[in-house]
Amino acid sequence: MSAPRRPTDPSGLERYYVLTGGRSGPGGSASTLDVATLVVARVTPLPGMQHEHEEILRRCRDPLSVAELGAHLHLPFNILAVLLSDLLDAGRVEARDPIPAHGAGRGPDLALLEEVLSGLQRL
């Protein structure tokens, strides 16, 4: 007779609880993250690191947005933000604004918007 099987959590909430150590949201430097924030690794993965931290460092050798990173890792934003908070606080990654604000209050860059529109029309 086989051992009784423990029911699995189809929602993934149990896994997320373990990944974040029970934390539900980021703190400190990661509280300003949004989906367009670019993340860049400052170090290579170290032996013994949490698997998800290693994966973030591997994927972020080149700048990668939080949204792209979440899609690659199949993690919701709030869980990924907690993991990024750990790495930011340890100085292992750097978070950058996607497009520097050249002049607050000037509105969007029309030339950039026209280029995007032109590119979309060519698709």
Q: Angle of helix 66-73 relative to helix 77-89, nearest 10 degrees?
A: 110
Question: What pLDDT is stored for residue 102 in this prediction?
Answer: 57
How many CB atoms are closer than 10 A to CB 110? 8
Does the pTM of the predicted model rise above 0.75? Answer: no
Are 79 and 23 in contact, with CB atoms under 8 Å apart? no
- pLDDT-derived band at 122, boundaries 50, 70, 90: confident
Per-residue model confidence as pLDDT tens digits over 15-39: 777 777 777 667 666 667 888 899 9
